[in-house]
Structure 1
Amino acid sequence: MSTTKVKFSSAFWTANVAEMLERTAYYAIFVAITLYLSNILGFNDIEASLISGGFSALMYLLPIFSGAYADKIGYRKSMILAFTLMPIGYLFLGLLPYLFEGLGLVKYADAPEGAAALVANLVTETQYYGLRESNLRWLIIPVLLILIVGGSFIRSIIRASVARETTTENRARGYSLFYMLVNIGAFSGKSIIDPLRGWIGERAYIYVNFISVILCLLALIMVILMYRSVNTAGEGKSIKEVWYGLYKGLTNKRLLCLIFIATGFWMCQQQLYASMPKYVIRMAGESAKPGWIANVNPFVVVLFVNLVTKWMSKYSALTSMVVGMILVPVAALVMSTGNLLGNDPILGMHPITLMLVLGIMLQG
């Protein structure tokens, strides 16, 4: 009996490592996107939530159309296009605050709170001189649109590339590697902001964009030099066919029901980025670490996904869905109780942080 060692093409590894770099870049900024919008650009909580929510929604909607176009022009060209647009978007995210500071609309904090006691003349709190009232801050919208277009290509291409670069014998393992690298990227990205914020204060929300620029440029160089595949050509759907498929899907009542259920879950899940960072910093103090708290989710998923999958394989998909639907509101309830437990540390953590961690573990 002979065994054949399963190998993957260089195109498979290039696409997946590039995806890991992109996920690191994306989550490095997305975990603090509402803090950037409010603390750096001066948007209020409602405006910041609407902008970040629209950014996330379009990022996941546009691949329906960009995927069809990517299929026509080829995956390599699509990746090069995506990894050209994304560093441009991140670069402008980092440069916009300096434009506003140069115009005298704002003066950003130079260091974390408390640093003034060590070094004289440091500004430890951002001071606004008209930015909150200026329409110039809405320049963030075209900048985010650049990221949305670039990111939509990545979301449609990489999964399809995994499918094309694997066979029936190694496809399951290929997707396992893909999701492992995605989670490594997400975990790494969310690990950047907290130590950076502790070092340089609120300017971390600006500087983290330059880290994302470097990561995306590395991915671009990798794709240009190393991505070669004979499987990139394909008959993509026309935009008319995409719209027709979307219409057929939205008129399917069972599919619509599933979409609404999934939407409810993702509304809760996205609070890790929409409201949790502000909540934990305001309630638990500036020393709170929202990036590490958000990392509980991918950590729990990686740790328990195989165990839970094996356990729930005994039950129907409907049963699994019902269990998930029960756990999500229970998790939200657990997370909401932190402010009822006072301010004394529990197990070395602020009660707000502890209950968030426990709730996110249940949610994961």
Structure 2
Amino acid sequence: MSSDAPVGARPPAGKTFFGHPRALSTLFLTEMWERFSFYGMRAILVLYLTAAVADGGLDLGESSANAVYGTYNAMVYLMALPGGWVADRLIGARRSVLWGGVVIAVGHYVMAIPTGWSVFAGMALIVLGTGLLKPNISTMVGDLYERDSPRRDAGFSIFYMGINLGAFIAPLVTGFLGEKINWHLGFGAAAVGMTFGVLQYVLGRRNLGDAGARPADPLLGADRRRALTRIGVASVVVLAVLLVLLVAGWFAVDTVVNLLTVVTVLVTVGYFARILTDREISGTERSRMKAYVWLFLFAASFWLIYDQAGSVLNIFAADQTDRSVGGFTFPASWLQSVNPILIIIGAPLAAALWLKLGHRVSTPTKFAVGLVLNGLSFVLMAAAAQAAVGGDLVSPLWLVAVYAIQVAGELSLSPVGLSATTKLAPVKYASQMLGLWFLATAVGDAIGGQVARLAGTWSQPVYFLTFGLASVVLGLAAVMFTRQIRHLMAGIH
């Protein structure tokens, strides 16, 4: 999904937002509230799944809850691929964002229903809605600027702040309501947040000009009818499979989670195979894609550990952390706000560092730094878990330090990876490569959800130390093969 403005798009004129098109404020607030709802629900999801029935939870085992959490995250990123396609070929980015927001809000309202089934039905709707909204709202931000506008990068920086502002505020609100009052009330707060986002998006649509108004490459006539027929058939097949699982008595949480994990990996393998075997791409482009395969694997390995913050580390915060301050025990989910505030602080510092270093530090080396830092965060968690052996509660500063190291790793890998994705993309697949980058997170989260099952069976110090050292070793291996990967990148730094 390219963020370049499509032919014919014109940045809307009129009032400005911090010197940028007024429409940026509409998209900024839409994304802020969408991230509020997403991270707000995510902050309490595993805690709700593992809470005892007497405490209003589902009393799901820690192993299964971690797997559900990882698979849910994976599906959110996996659906960015069809979501981008729907916008590009059928209804345009603007309507995709609108309907995505509506479906997300409905999903959160369903989760607010105080029944056992509502959480899974709601998550399914949120996955579908986020797939429509997430990739396409970024495309619309790009549509606000001419291709060579010097304000373009600054506009995305402001937009990025909206993401992290929503992620910072959300756990503070939903965490207090969910953990202190009622879980479904916390889910309801996320629903209200997304409703605010949809309403202000509708009210601000007059500011958007031509941004996202039309599909970038619309299907017409017979091609459109054929595509809609295939979508309908695929939907029927999926529903039929779910019905068979239900009738056969196989519709268990673990069965569905395992199936979706396999689907995520197979889709990714198929996507890479399609590109690498395409005879229309040049030899240089194929070489760069081979380099990208390695970067993709590094990124997936990074997210496998990093995104356990909302599952394994969240449970650790709830059960083994001393959260009492002046007689008040703050919700465990409040610690989920540490990550976004550190990103807000660290992002400009990281950008300045990479600008100063220039090409002296290559992309593979930056990925290696991210992997090593990510691994060291889990090594530190092993020390925290060891301190908690025997039932002692440890200081929450352990987790703050862990998140600080992880954020440093993220800032070494995530924005760099996004940039490398656009630079290494074959011309034919330029508009699809952002979706491929999202797949790295999907694969990491899907496999990470399965790996996190071990946290319930291994001792915690062994669990954290094993995967922490594995990430460090992988990062060091990446350093050793930097020269080979740079050779495959064929002149791209």
Tell me the TM-score normalised to structure 2 length.
0.58
2:142 is aligned, of 138, 163, 170, to 163
**2:121 is aligned with 1:142:** yes
State the partner residue of 1:37: 49
Match in the other structure for 2:198: 220
Supply the distance in 2 between the matched residues of 1:231 and 1:195 (Cα, whole angstroms): 38
User: What's the offset of the Cα at 1:222?
Assistant: 1.6
Amino acid at match of 1:192: V
Root-mean-square deviation (Å): 2.8
Query: Aligned residue for 1:210?
Result: 188
Looking at structure 2, the residues matched to 249 and 299 of structure 1 have their Cα atoms a distance apart, in angstroms, of 38
Selected match of 1:283 from 320, 326, 334: 320
Question: Compared with structure 1, are the counterparts of its residues 250 and 64 closer, same or farther at alpha carbon in structure 2 (3 Å cutoff)?
Answer: farther
Map 1:2-151 onto structure 2 (within 5 A): 7-39=19-51, 40-71=57-88, 72-95=90-113, 97=114, 99=115, 137=117, 140-151=119-130
Q: CA separation of 1:212/1:250 partners in 2, compared to 1, >3 Å: closer, same or farther?
A: farther
Following superposition of structure 1 onto structure 2, how do residues 282-361 of structure 1 map, counting pairs within 5 Å? Answer: 282-284=319-321, 287=329, 289-313=331-355, 314=357, 315-341=361-387, 351-361=394-404
One-letter code of the match for 1:75?
A: A
Measure, in 1, the Cα distance between the counterparts of 2:365 and 2:164.
26
Q: Which runs of 5+ in 2 are unaligned?
A: 1-15, 52-56, 220-226, 231-266, 278-288, 324-328, 408-493
Alignment partner for residue 298 of structure 2, among 245, 261, 274?
261
Bigger Cα displacement from structure 2, 140-149 vs 277-286: 277-286
Do the aligned partners of 1:22 and 1:216 also contact (CA within 8 Å) in 2? yes
- Aligned-residue offset at 1:29: 0.8
TM-fit CA distance, 1:198: 6.0
Q: Is the 8 A contact 2:109 2:122 kept in 1?
A: no
Q: Distance in 2 between matches of 1:224 and 1:47?
A: 39
8 Å Cα contact 1:82-1:149 kept in structure 2: yes
Is residue 234 of structure 1 aligned with residue 251 of structure 2? no
Question: Separation in 1 of the partners of 2:103 and 2:97?
Answer: 10
Deviations 1:9-41 (A, max 9, x none): 333221221110111111111011111222212
Partners of 1:52 and 1:177 in 2: how far apart? Answer: 29
Q: CA deviation at 1:265?
A: 0.9
Q: Which amino acid aligns with 1:268?
A: I
The letter for the 1-side match of 2:307 is Q
- Please say which of residues 250-259 and 59-68 is displaced more in the overlay: 250-259
Q: How does 1:167-186 map to 2 (within 5 A)?
A: 167=146, 168-186=149-167
Shift of 1:281: 1.3
Match of 2:112, SS state, is helix
User: Does the residue aligned with 2:210 lie in a helix, a strand or coil?
Assistant: coil
Aligned amino acid, residue 190 of structure 2:
S
Identity %: 21
Residue type of the alignment partner of 1:267: L
What residue is the counterpart of 1:130 in the other structure? Answer: none
Instruction: Tell me the secondary structure at the aligned position of residue 32 of structure 1.
Output: helix
- Find the aligned partners of 2:49 and 2:342 in 1 and give their Cα distance: 29
Report the secondary structure of 1:175's partner residue. helix
